[in-house]
Structure 1
Amino acid sequence: MKSPVHLNALRAFEASARHQSFAKAAAELHVTPAAVGQLVRGLEEWLGMPLFVRNAGGRTRLVATGDALRALPEIRAGFDRLSAGLERLQEGAAGGVLTVTVSPAFATKWLLPRFERFQAACPDTDVRLEIHARPMDFAAQRVDIGVRYGAGAWPGLVADKLMDEEMYPVCAPALLHQEPPLRTPGDLGRVALIHDLSMDGHADFPTWETWLRQAGATGVAAARGLKINNSAAVLQAAIEGRGVALARSVMARDDLAAGRILRLFPEIGGTRALAYYAVYRPESASQPRLAAFRDWLLQEAALQHAGARRR
């Protein structure tokens, strides 16, 4: 038997089946539709069987045959393996870039203020920081490592816990000492509440209603106030005296240490929230740049935990 057909023919077949169109496959592969059609026909000739039902019932879209549909998952898995192999070859290349994804709030309030320490520890590692509010597809978008907030389970990713988190009320110093002062949780009925909607819809993410119930506060309208879908902006609103925010402890740490905000009612305790995890694909775990960044994240998280315990 002759050697297998060129990979370009398999790519043309896979793209044509996915798009159900030679023209759309051609646009993706940056060739002409005629070239795609020729590659597919060559593959069909080599196999001795059709891969698409053409002009059936006046269809304008390509329809893959049953045999073709059954083969597609294996072909796509093969391309994924090839991509992973190429990434392995690039791991040791000089000047390689580590792609890191985090949320906007985590970047602003935690990662960027500490990033200089990573650069000092690993001066030869260049980092491309992808800041997105929604989780990225690590394989499709070639992400090496990221930090996610949640319960610790994401399909296809290893998750190493960095930090637990709790939530508690904070406000600007001037607001705390206004007249009459905020002495008990029930006094929160006199000020605007600032709500963090960054995890809106997640059942395990605490809300003002959760905290007020824990504090035993009655007569406070938990749903009213200012609602913001970014945790960094929630803290900024509190710093500016817009009201009392239910803050995430990891995000609020530096602002508390600097005195820009104060924690209210610390004797009540915080409400346990979700946690932060370093996440990456298992096949990338041995990549030296990734391992160095993951270890640095774990070290910084341990330092923060130790500092919190000393206080």
Structure 2
Amino acid sequence: MKLPVHLNALRAFEASARHQSFTAAAAELHVTPAAVGQLVRALEGWLGTPLFLRNARGRTRLVTTEAADRALPDIRAGFYRLALGLERLKEESAGSVLTVTVSPAFAAKWLLPRFDRFQAAWPDTDVRLDTSLKAVDFVAQRIDIGVRYGMGSWPGLTADRLMDEEVYPVCSPKLLKEPERLRKPADLARETLIHDLSMDSHAAFPTWEAWLRKAGMTDVAATRGMMINNSAAVLQAAIEGQGVALARSVMAWGDLANGLLVRLFPTIAFPSPLAYYVVYRAECSGKPGLVAFRDWLLKEATA
């Protein structure tokens, strides 16, 4: 469909309506207020209808007409789709660089120890790893794919379940050198508990209080001890013998396999209600590098 109106006029109108000011719109668009006003008047002339209410005494801000208010959501949606299209063109021109977002702990404890296998299988794909504790904007930060931990729903993203996990207490082997130490859950009352606060804002995130309740230890003080907001640092504190950590199995597998940590009370099963998901934008799902990395992640998780 051919647009009879120049995009600059639509941009001037949308910015003026959002800021309720020609001057503020001009600052955003890097032009003069007079140029913004001229573009808006040209648009009104083509439409044959005003877009702003004028000639009201004492009014300091622009006020849109009812017709303009009805049209603005579609115009803004159109600009958003144009931005997505341009982003896709940038992605294609960027070549074989794949931008991946994961948490720092997931990168250190799960992804990086096996990443050489992806590089061996896809030597021509360069990966830029973005590690952040906060959810990132995939469009604004040009993220291709990522791994997130949660319930599986993130607006604007497709989520493929990667793996579940279990939560259990772990400690350094040196804490078990004393014959009677940490032989039953009640013994935790005499230990320093290490708490993982990395997902503390998520109500479903497993806590010491929930694990102790599952173990029937309601008389053990669940909130005392050491608080750390990074899952990898939680495990490191346990490795150094600073206490007993409530570990996430996906994070702890390597340290358990290497004998740096020991799982305590393995007969008490406590699956996490949260899981790991591979996430990406649906419109980018056919990108070869993304497909390769997603399939590799799923293969590694099942192995």
What RMSD in Å do the two structures reach over aligned CA positions?
Answer: 2.3
Q: CA 1:188–1:160 in structure 2 vs 1: closer, same or farther (change >3 Å)?
A: same
Q: Say yes or no: does 1:249 pair with 2:255.
A: no
Q: Say yes or no: does 1:117 pair with 2:117.
A: yes
Deviation track 1:271-293 (CA, whole Å, cap 9, x = no partner) reads 33410001112222112222112
| Secondary structure, counterpart of 2:114 in structure 1 | helix
Following TM superposition, by how much is the alpha carbon of 1:268 offset from its aligned partner in structure 2, in angstroms? 2.1
Deviation track 1:236-291 (CA, whole Å, cap 9, x = no partner) reads 21122221010111111112122221111112233334100011122221122221
Q: CA 1:30–1:247 in structure 2 vs 1: closer, same or farther (change >3 Å)?
A: farther
Contact 1:168 1:270 in 2 (8 A): yes
Deviation track 1:133-186 (CA, whole Å, cap 9, x = no partner) reads 221232344322221111112233211010101100011121232464210110
- Separation (CA, whole Å) in 2 of partners of 1:30 and 1:128: 33
Q: Say yes or no: does 1:77 pair with 2:61.
A: no
Q: CA 1:111–1:74 in structure 2 vs 1: closer, same or farther (change >3 Å)?
A: same
> Runs of 4+ in structure 1 displaced over 6 angstroms?
none
Deviation track 1:69-104 (CA, whole Å, cap 9, x = no partner) reads 211111122122223333444454362532322222
- Separation (CA, whole Å) in 2 of partners of 1:43 and 1:299: 55
The equivalent residue for 1:307 is none
Contact 1:186 1:218 in 2 (8 A): no
The equivalent residue for 1:50 is 50
Following TM superposition, by how much is the alpha carbon of 1:54 offset from its aligned partner in structure 2, in angstroms? 4.6
The equivalent residue for 2:160 is 160
The equivalent residue for 2:224 is 224
| Secondary structure, counterpart of 1:149 in structure 2 | strand
- Separation (CA, whole Å) in 1 of partners of 2:36 and 2:270: 60
- Separation (CA, whole Å) in 2 of partners of 1:239 and 1:40: 65
Contact 1:211 1:271 in 2 (8 A): no
The equivalent residue for 2:36 is 36
| Secondary structure, counterpart of 1:268 in structure 2 | coil
- The 5 Å alignment of 1:35-184 reads 35-54=35-54, 56-93=56-93, 95-178=95-178, 180-184=180-184
- Separation (CA, whole Å) in 1 of partners of 2:267 and 2:273: 18
Q: CA 1:216–1:286 in structure 2 vs 1: closer, same or farther (change >3 Å)?
A: same
- Separation (CA, whole Å) in 2 of partners of 1:203 and 1:114: 31
Q: Which amino acid aligns with 1:47?
A: L
| Secondary structure, counterpart of 1:272 in structure 2 | coil
Deviation track 1:98-134 (CA, whole Å, cap 9, x = no partner) reads 2322222222222233333323322332333332222
- Separation (CA, whole Å) in 2 of partners of 1:229 and 1:57: 56
Q: CA 1:243–1:34 in structure 2 vs 1: closer, same or farther (change >3 Å)?
A: farther
Q: CA 1:56–1:118 in structure 2 vs 1: closer, same or farther (change >3 Å)?
A: farther
| Secondary structure, counterpart of 1:165 in structure 2 | coil
Q: CA 1:127–1:187 in structure 2 vs 1: closer, same or farther (change >3 Å)?
A: same
Q: Which amino acid aligns with 1:39?
A: L
5+ residue gaps, structure 2, are none
Contact 1:95 1:126 in 2 (8 A): no
- The range that moved more, 59-68 or 85-94, is 85-94
| Secondary structure, counterpart of 1:160 in structure 2 | strand
- The range that moved more, 20-29 or 165-174, is 20-29
Following TM superposition, by how much is the alpha carbon of 1:13 offset from its aligned partner in structure 2, in angstroms? 1.9
Q: CA 1:166–1:61 in structure 2 vs 1: closer, same or farther (change >3 Å)?
A: farther
Deviation track 1:207-233 (CA, whole Å, cap 9, x = no partner) reads 111111222224311111112222122
- Separation (CA, whole Å) in 1 of partners of 2:277 and 2:215: 29
User: TM-score scaled by structure 2?
Assistant: 0.89
| Secondary structure, counterpart of 1:247 in structure 2 | strand
- Separation (CA, whole Å) in 1 of partners of 2:204 and 2:213: 15
The equivalent residue for 1:266 is 266
5+ residue gaps, structure 1, are 304-311
Contact 1:103 1:132 in 2 (8 A): yes
Q: Which amino acid aligns with 1:138?
A: F
Identity of aligned residues (%): 73
Q: Which amino acid aligns with 1:71?
A: A
Q: CA 1:128–1:206 in structure 2 vs 1: closer, same or farther (change >3 Å)?
A: same
Following TM superposition, by how much is the alpha carbon of 1:201 offset from its aligned partner in structure 2, in angstroms? 3.8
| Secondary structure, counterpart of 2:166 in structure 1 | strand
- Separation (CA, whole Å) in 1 of partners of 2:97 and 2:4: 34
